[in-house]
Amino acid sequence: MHLSELAKSGEFIITCELASPKGVNVQDFLDQADQLKSYIHAISIGDNPRATMRAGSWAMCHLLKSRDIEPIMELATRDRNRIALQSDMLGAAILGIENIILSDGHDPSVGDHTEATRVQDLNCISLAGAAKTLAGGHDMTGHALDGTPSLCLGITANPGLEPLEKQLDTIKEAVAQGAQFIQTQPVYDPAVLERFVDSIYNLDVTIIVGHMMLKSVSMASFINSNLEGVTVPDAMMKQLEGQPRNIAVETSLQMSTNLIKTIRPLCHGIHFIPASWERYVPRIIEALTDR
C-alpha cells in the first residue's frame, strides 16, 4: 500500500525502522518484525545505513512483504549508478515493494568500507526525477518500458538543521519530481517541527516525523553533540537526570508518549528509530491509542 494513500485515508501512520543484519542470519530481524506487525503500518529498512555494509534492503523488504508486513525500502545514490538505481526500482516493484525512500546516503568515509567508491551518479532529486519518469512508462533516456512500476516515493529531511531554506529548496524540487512523503530525523522540540511544517504547508506531501526514544542522559547528550540538527531540550534532559535505570525506562516511554501526543496534530505519522529498544515501541503505541 502507498503510504501517501494511507495518509489521505485519514490514518495516523506509524512506521518503525529495523536494521538489516550484517550477515545472513535474519532470525532476530524477523522476530522483531513479527512483534511489531500488529502495531505498525510499515517497517522501513535502511540502505547500508551510515555506509555500513549489511544484507540488502530489498531482500529484507521482500521478506517482510511475504509476511504481510508493508515494507519501506531506502535506496541511496551513494552505491549505485543510474542504471542500477532505475533497475533496482523496477526490481522493487516486482518484489512487491512500493514505498521507497530516496537518499544520498552517508559518505563511505563514515562507514566500514572507507575505500568504497562514492558513486553519486545521481542525487536524491535527480533520482526522484528518474522514478517519476519510470512511473510514467519511460527510463531516464526516454526508452519506453514494458510494464510500468507503481511506486510511492519519499525523501528524508532534518527539521532542526539550519539553514532550513536550503533543505526547503530540495524538498520542493523533490516533491515537484513526484516525492509523496517525507520522513524526518527525530524532533524533540515541537516548536522546531511547527516551524518546519509551516514552511511547507502548501506542499501536497505526507510528513512522517522521526522519533528515537531517549534511553539515558548520556544518549541525549550524545545526540546533542553528534546528530547535526537534532536537539534534546534541557527540560527533557532534566527529567532523565539521576534516575535509576528501571525508572528511566518508564520516564523515557512517558516522555515519548507525551511528545508524540503533542506533535501528532502537526504531522501525518511517526517513524520510530528504536536504536535497540524495539521491544518498547508497542508500549508507546498502546499508550497513544488509549487516550
Give the footprint of another protein on this chain (CB under 8 A).
21-26, 48, 51, 53-60, 62-63, 78-84, 86-88, 90-95, 108, 111-121, 139-141, 143, 145-149
- The Cα 134–Cα 270 span in angstroms is 29
The kind and range of the H/E element at 133 are helix 124-135
Answer whether the bond into residue 163 is a cis peptide, omega within 30°. Answer: yes
**Minimum CB distance to another protein, residue 46 (Å):** 11
Kindly give the interhelix angle for 27-36 and 57-66, rounded to the nearest 10 degrees.
50
**Minimum CB distance to another protein, residue 252 (Å):** 28
Residue 73 and residue 97 in contact, taking contact as beta carbons nearer than 8 Å: yes
- The Cα 250–Cα 253 span in angstroms is 5
**Minimum CB distance to another protein, residue 134 (Å):** 9
**Minimum CB distance to another protein, residue 238 (Å):** 39
- The Cα 201–Cα 219 span in angstroms is 32
Spatial CA neighbour of 20 closest among 40, 48, 39: 48
Q: CB-wise, 122 or 253, nearer to another protein?
A: 122
Q: CB-wise, 60 or 175, nearer to another protein?
A: 60
**Minimum CB distance to another protein, residue 85 (Å):** 8
**Minimum CB distance to another protein, residue 15 (Å):** 21
- The Cα 178–Cα 8 span in angstroms is 16
Q: CB-wise, 24 or 191, nearer to another protein?
A: 24
Q: CB-wise, 113 or 279, nearer to another protein?
A: 113
Q: CB-wise, 134 or 273, nearer to another protein?
A: 134
Q: CB-wise, 21 or 233, nearer to another protein?
A: 21
According to DSSP, residue 200 is labeled T
Compute, in degrees rounded to 10, the torsion defined by CA atoms 92, 97, 103, 108.
Answer: -60
Spatial CA neighbour of 43 closest among 76, 66, 9, 11: 66
